[in-house]
Each structure stands twice: as structure tokens, then as C-alpha cells.
Amino acid sequence: MFQLMIFTPLILTISSVVLVLSLALSKKSKMNREKSSPFECGFDANSNQRLPFSLRFFLVTIIFLIFDVEIVILFPAIQSIFTSQEFYWNFIFISFLIILLGGLFHEWKQGSLNWAI
């Protein structure tokens, strides 16, 4: 109870000082059309909305998501090295790598990894 009585005013004072300093020291910039317009996926929000979506942008996004999921799957697999049998772990890990390499070669063959326009 004693700590609550000491730290509550201290926390409120520090928060108030930080808030006042941030308001006082912030630079007020002029808002214009460019700054107030939303920015979504590299498209100009004020232009024609019927422009076709870039397939290259979509493929880059999908490849990024696939590699994120791969990393999420690999972290628990690395942790399980010490708790599982070596043969079982090696079989699962090699199977996972074969699937990943198959997907990588497929993307390469389809031209998804060619970044040049």
C-alpha cells in the first residue's frame, strides 16, 4: 500500500511532464493534400481507382508470407532437437527442407524471383 502511495503520484508527474514536453517541442507542420491523403500499397489514393493491381507486387507479398510461415515452423523444430529422437527429427527436418526447396525451384522456374522489369 505504501508503494502505491509513493509511485502513483510519481508516475502521474513523469507522464504529465513527458506529455507537456512533447506538445511543446513538437514542430507544427502545415498539412497539405499530400500529407493528409492515405498511402496504400504504393498507389495514389486520389487517382483513378480502376487501375489494375500489379501482379509482381502480389507475388512478392505471397513469397514474403511463405517465408514468414517457414520461419514460424522452424523455430519449434529447432527447440525440439533436444527432446526428440535423432532419426525422427532428421526425417521430419529433411522432409521439410525438400518441400521448401521444391517450392523455391518452382518459383524460380515460373519467374517469380526475377526482380528486373
Residue 40 has pLDDT above 70, yes or no: no
The number of domains in the chain is 1
Residue 68 belongs to domain spanning: 57-117
Distance of alpha carbon 53 from the chain centroid: 21
10 belongs to a structural domain: no
Q: Is the pLDDT of residue 107 over 70?
A: yes
Q: Which residue has the higher pLDDT, 3 or 102?
A: 102
Q: Which amino acid is at 37?
A: S
Whether 51 is covered by a domain: the verdict is: no
Is the CA virtual torsion 28, 29, 32, 35 positive or negative? Answer: negative
Per-residue pLDDT, 1 = 73
Residues 27-47: what's their mean pLDDT? 65
Residue 15 lies in a domain: no
